Structure 1
């Protein structure tokens, strides 16, 4: 099993993300508001945008009306910087608009203060 320490837990606050390397692969390490860590390929599946240049946000709910937005899953969605594609962090990086598509993900574990990515 290949594994690597990619950062310390203190490097990423809840609701934030950070670019890191896993071997020669660029990865995006995300920390959701509940403190859980996730890691994905740092490249949008649409046209290859670097996802670390995007943002972590929430999603609108079905209750949203024109001019008024209700949000949910705040801090659990990655938004691509180029075309606004949105991916669920907690749902394996699946695209919100088309859940059959997803960003490749990596397994993550935390030991002491180290965030470890592995296959």
Structure 2
């Protein structure tokens, strides 16, 4: 099993993300508002945009009425910087518009203050 420390827990605030490396790959390490860590390939599956140049945000619910927006999942959605594709961090990096597609992900664990990515 390949594993590597990619950052310290204090490097990422809840609801934020940062670029790191895992071997020769660039990864995007995300921390959701509840303090959980996730790691994905730092490349949009649409046209390869570097996701670390995008943003972590939320989404509107499907129950929103026209002209009314109910905001949810704050700090749990990655938005691509090039074309606005949105991916759900807590749902395996699945695309909101097409849940059959997702960003490749990595396993993550935290030991003491170290965030460790592994396969």
Same fold at TM > 0.5: yes
Q: Could you tell me how far apart the structure 2 residues matched to 1:104 and 1:49 are? A: 14
Query: What RMSD over aligned residues (CA atoms) do the two structures have, in Å?
Result: 0.8
Query: Alpha-carbon deviation of 1:108?
Result: 0.2
* Equivalent position SS for 1:30: strand
User: Could you tell me which residue of structure 2 aligns to residue 93 of structure 1?
Assistant: 93
DSSP-derived class of the 2:90 partner: coil
Residues in 2 aligned to 1:54 and 1:76: alpha-carbon distance in whole angstroms:
13
Task: Indicate yes or no: 2:40 matched with 1:40.
Answer: yes
Cα shift readout 1:8-31 (whole Å, capped 9, x = no counterpart): 000000000000000110000000
Describe the SS at the equivalent of 2:91.
Answer: coil
How far did 1:105 drift?
0.1
- Structure 1 gaps of 5+ residues are none
Which residue of structure 2 aligns with residue 30 of structure 1? 30
The residue that corresponds to 2:118 in the other structure is 118
What is the count of residue pairs matched by the alignment? 119
Secondary structure of the 2:20 match is strand
Structure 2: runs of 5 or more not aligned: none
Offset at 1:64? 2.2
With normalisation by structure 2, the TM-score equals 0.97
Deviation, 1:68, is: 2.8
**What is the distance in 1 between the residues matched to 2:20 and 2:117?**
10
TM-score, length of structure 1 as denominator length: 0.97
